[in-house]
Amino acid sequence: MHNFELVKPSTIAEAVAALGQEGAQALSGGQTLIPTMKQRLNMPDMLVSLTGIAEMKGVCKGDGGLHIGAATQHAVVAKEAAAAYPALAKLAGGIGDPAVRNRGTIGGSLANNDPSACYPAAALASGATIVTNQRSIAADDYFQGMFATALEEGEIITEIRFPIPEKAAYLKFEQPASRFALTGVFVAKYPSGVRVAVTGASNDGVFRWAEAEAALSANFAPSALESLSLSGEGMIADLHGSGDYRAHLAKVLTKRAVLAAS
Amino acid sequence: MAKVSMTVNGKAVSGEVEGRTLLSTFLREGLGLTGTHIGCDTSQCGACTVHVDGKQVKSCAMFAAEADGAEVRTIEGMANADGSLSVIQQAFQDHHGLQCGFCTPGMVMAAASLLADNPKPTEAEVRHHLEGNMCRCTGYHNIVKAVLAASGQDAGQIAAE
Ligand SMILES: Cc1cc2nc3c(=O)[nH]c(=O)nc-3n(C[C@H](O)[C@H](O)[C@H](O)COP(=O)(O)OP(=O)(O)OC[C@H]3O[C@@H](n4cnc5c(N)ncnc54)[C@H](O)[C@@H]3O)c2cc1C
Ligand code: FES
Ligand code: FES
């Protein structure tokens, strides 16, 4: 790994100032970044640690529903979101393994936007708001393809606000070696309608399945999905599964998520 | 280089580290605590599991400077004060929960954090908790048995296939 300087600011303002320097990059839980640095896919001159910033940590209820600080670890969300938003807490408790959950953070996951990550499905299906040091971004505008987001250079996520649904569930078909989603589906039912987000399937990253949303908004039952199908075109095809397989999984998981939603 | 100070197994320690120095490197090369094993160095195997402020982490996926000021516990800090094996370690020996022993430090640290949180886990909870710890020898059954036995539960029903 190339060497770098590690700085540990204690406020968002200090972090943003440090990130303004040439070659600086944010470090949150490091569960994605450190392995990529070992492979020299990433060679920052300076890492700005976000995990010591108190204003970026914690779970609480607010105007936007459930507000979660971006530097909050998965294990904390799994515990502290359990009463207000059980489906989200369950998703957090199913990420990777206990050690990954003790370090990895929600902000790091959303900033990375891995096409097989879990949190992007929750944020998109919940119509969450991604709050940064500069602005608020609707989840619908935030995810812009595999590993691509609306974040600008030096911009950091500070908080994520999740409107709390009437019912929701996340079902993940695990890739058994990594425990990432081979395909995962988050279904959330709001008074305004149902939202369905699929991760681990498309080459463009997480996406909303509009036909399923319309069908489920009219009738929130697995049978409403019977006549629908997703195309395998544009889906990820790798040694774990073909595009058609993932398209099929997405439908099966959507049905199961509707059944599991509570 | 920057100075870091932390408590490791109850002892105050400090040393000079680079930004890129991993916690695993600091423990093994800086402090000579080679009980923390490096199986993969890619966050996959869990052999390097230690506790930082009471939480299990992969020490190959954290920088030493991030543990500045923290309480760290490694396998070297697990035995009883008189040097005898702790309940968990003894259970691994009694139930043949290790063969080559390479994964064992990580397994013991992971088991300790499970039992601290959940003193009477079910078999399924033990298996779920150990998902990030790979063992290439035992086939896991005897490890699960050892953890259940360490929790004071009857491990007899677990198949030792
Ligand atoms: C063995 C293993 C299994 C895993 N399994 C799963 C799984 O099942 N599901 C899943 O979803 N994920 C999984 N992950 C990934 C894990 O959830 C990571 O924690 C997460 O993807 C990144 O979060 P982090 O806090 O570790 O971010 P880091 O690694 O610190 O950062 C990742 C990237 O985001 C940037 N960044 C971090 N925080 C911010 C911020 N607040 N604002 C802007 N940019 C930021 C960094 O600069 C970097 O580019 C797994 C990881 C491992 C090692
Ligand atoms: S050596 Fe750290 S996870 Fe394998
Ligand atoms: S005992 Fe050999 S790897 Fe587990």
- Tell me, using a 6 A CB cutoff, whether residue A108 lines ligand 1: yes
> Cα angle at B43 between B22 and B88, to 5 degrees?
90
| pTM score | 0.97
Same domain, B24 and B46: yes
Label each residue of chain A as H, E or C. Answer: CCCCEEECCCCHHHHHHHHCCCCEEEECCCCCHHHHHHCCCCCCCEEEECCCCHHHCCEEEECCEEEEECCCEHHHHHHHCCCCCHHHHHHHHCCCCHHHHHHCEHHHHHHHCCCCCCHHHHHHHCCCEEEECCCEEEHHHHECCCCCECCCCCCCEEEEEECCCCEEEEEEEECCCCCCEEEEEEEEEECCEEEEEEECCECCCCEECHHHHHHHHHCCCHHHHCCCCCCCCCECCECCECHHHHHHHHHHHHHHHHHHCC
Q: What is the mean pLDDT of residues B125-145?
A: 96
Token digits of residue A174: 């695990």
Asked if B29 reaches chain A (Cβ–Cβ under 8 Å), the answer is: no
Same domain, B73 and B91: no
CATH number at residue B55: 3.10.20.30
Position B102 in a domain: yes
* Pocket probe mutation, ligand 1, options A21, A25, A31, A74, max atoms within 8 Å of Cβ: A31
- Find the domain containing B127 and state its range: 87-157
What was the pLDDT predicted at A20?
Answer: 96
Provide the pLDDT confidence category of residue B159 given band limits of 50, 70 and 90.
low
Position B137 in a domain: yes
Q: What is the mean pLDDT of residues A108-123?
A: 98
In this predicted model, what pLDDT tens digit does every residue of A147-160 receive, in sequence order? 999 999 999 999 99
**CB-count exposure of residue A256 (10 Å: 0-12, 13-18, 19+):** middle
- State the residue for tokens 């009738």: A219
Give the torsion through C-alpha atoms of B69, B14, B26, A17, to 10 deg. Answer: 50
Among protein residues, the one whose CA lies closest to atom 10 of ligand 1: A117
Same domain, B54 and B6: yes
Same domain, B71 and B114: no
Work out how many CB contacts closer than 8 A connect A with B: 69
Cα(A195)–Cα(A203) distance, integer angstroms? 20
- State the residue for tokens 């916690």: B23
What was the pLDDT predicted at B154?
Answer: 87
In this predicted model, what pLDDT tens digit does every residue of B3-29 receive, in sequence order? 999 999 999 999 999 999 999 999 999
Provide the pLDDT confidence category of residue A214 given band limits of 50, 70 and 90.
very high
CATH number at residue B100: 1.10.150.120
Same domain, B26 and B71: yes
Which of A102, A105, A179, A180 to mutate: most B Cβ within 10 Å?
A: A102
Mean residue pLDDT of chain A comes to 97
Give the neighbor-by-neighbor strand order of the sheet with B49-52.
B11-17, B2-8, B71-73, B49-52, B55-58
Residue A19 has pLDDT above 70, yes or no: yes
- Closest-CA residue in chain B for A31? B61
In this predicted model, what pLDDT tens digit does every residue of B47-101 receive, in sequence order? 999 999 999 999 999 999 999 999 999 999 999 999 999 999 999 999 999 999 9
What was the pLDDT predicted at B155?
Answer: 83
- Hey, what domains does chain A have and what are their CATH numbers? 5-49 (3.30.43.10), 54-162 (3.30.465.10), 167-261 (3.30.390.50)
Residue B134 has pLDDT above 60, yes or no: yes
Cα(B106)–Cα(A228) distance, integer angstroms? 46
Same domain, B6 and B52: yes
Same domain, B10 and B71: yes
Report chain B residues whose CB lies below 8 A from the CB of A98: 56, 110, 113-114, 129, 131-132
By percentage, how much of chain A surpasses pLDDT 70?
100
Same domain, B72 and B97: no
Q: What is the mean pLDDT of residues A166-186?
A: 94
Q: What is the mean pLDDT of residues A32-41?
A: 96
Position B35 in a domain: yes
Position B96 in a domain: yes
Position B82 in a domain: no
What was the pLDDT predicted at B34?
Answer: 98
Same domain, B142 and B112: yes
Same domain, B147 and B105: yes
Position B23 in a domain: yes
Q: Which of A214, A192, A204 is nearest to A145 (CA)?
A: A204
Decide: A181 and A173 in contact? Cβ < 8 Å: yes
What was the pLDDT predicted at A111?
Answer: 98
Q: Which of A35, A72, A80, A65 is nearest to A51 (CA)?
A: A72
In this predicted model, what pLDDT tens digit does every residue of B24-57 receive, in sequence order? 999 999 999 999 999 999 999 999 999 999 999 9
Q: Of B59, B77, B95, which one is at a domain's C-terminal end?
A: B77
Same domain, B30 and B57: yes
Provide the pLDDT confidence category of residue A16 given band limits of 50, 70 and 90.
very high
Q: Of B53, B77, B101, which one is at a domain's C-terminal end?
A: B77
Position B146 in a domain: yes
Same domain, B30 and B69: yes
By percentage, how much of chain A surpasses pLDDT 90?
97
In chain B, how many domains are there?
Answer: 2
Cα(B85)–Cα(B81) distance, integer angstroms? 9
Cα(A31)–Cα(A109) distance, integer angstroms? 9
What was the pLDDT predicted at A53?
Answer: 98
SS3 for B12?
A: strand
In this predicted model, what pLDDT tens digit does every residue of B109-120 receive, in sequence order? 999 999 999 999
Which of A25, A103, A105, A174 to mutate: most B Cβ within 10 Å?
A: A103
Residue B160 has pLDDT above 60, yes or no: no
Position B107 in a domain: yes
What was the pLDDT predicted at B161?
Answer: 47
